[in-house]
Chains A and B, each alone.
Chain A
Amino acid sequence: GQNIDQPTEMTATEGAIVQINCTYQTSGFNGLFWYQQHAGEAPTFLSYNVLDGLEEKGRFSSFLSRSKGYSYLLLKELQMKDSASYLCAVTDSNYQLIWGAGTKLIIKP
């Protein structure tokens, strides 16, 4: 079966750094997305990785290791507005997007 694993919930402090991990077992791989979803709102795109390595975009970075079936989202200089759920999604060999259940990130002052 196809599976994407993320921690259910994480807590971090304002101004700190947090890393949200995502591991996947899918039939093939054609890319990995990270989306942010604030409570009661729609998911919004954060990043896309298809090759191994780190993609940096402002305070957010996303890393991919295809051989390990592993990605992480790194959030620096955390702000209260970063409190949200972070969704990992993988495109499989059939070009279907498989979604993880998401990680709820709680930022404390």
Chain B
Amino acid sequence: IAGITQAPTSQILAAGRRMTLRCTQDMRHNAMYWYRQDLGLGLRLIHYSNTAGTTGKGEVPDGYSVSRANTDDFPLTLASAVPSQTSVYFCASSAAGGGTDTQYFGPGTRLTVL
């Protein structure tokens, strides 16, 4: 593994189903982030974690939850998917939190909720 990996690459999901998007980094970065990217909109922060064991809400947290049990993994869970959650989801990490460190992005997960 080099950098950040995400799984799955893409997924089609029925509305109401539960889904977990996985994210793993091997750079020993303290901070990790989940974004969604929709056409015509900038990256929007869903949740973040500045260090293992802590998480925080971003701009659009409703309908999503995260956990940070260790440094490397930061899964994002959709408890009951809705069509408005159709988007491309990017996981990112940075050496430190606080918005002044370069963020490194995973390849993304393309999610379609029908």
Contacts and interface: CB of A to CB of B under 8 A. Distances in A.
A7 B104 CA distance: 24
Nearest to A45: B102
Please classify the interface of chain A as helix (H, G, I), strand (E, B), loop, or mixed, using the class held by over half of its residues: loop
Contacts, number: 50
Residue with the highest number of chain A CB atoms closer than 10 Å, among B40, B43, B107? B43
A4 to B, nearest CB: 7
B18 to A, nearest CB: 25
Contacts of B44: 99
Contact of B42 (A4, A30, A42): A4
Interface residues of A, number: 24
A30 B42 CA distance: 19
Nearest to B90: A42
A33 B107 contact: no
Given A4-B42, A42-B108, A87-B43, A31 B102 contact: no
Given A42-B90, A42-B107, A43-B90, A48 B42 contact: no
22 contacts: A4-B42, A31-B100, A33-B102, A41-B107, A42-B90, A42-B105, A42-B106, A43-B43, A44-B105, A45-B102, A45-B103, A87-B42, A89-B43, A91-B99, A95-B100, A97-B45, A97-B103, A98-B42, A99-B42, A99-B43, A101-B40, A101-B41
The 4 closest A-B pairs by CB, nearest first: A99-B42, A42-B105, A91-B99, A95-B98
Interface of A: 4, 8, 30-31, 33, 41-45, 48, 50, 87, 89, 91-92, 95-102
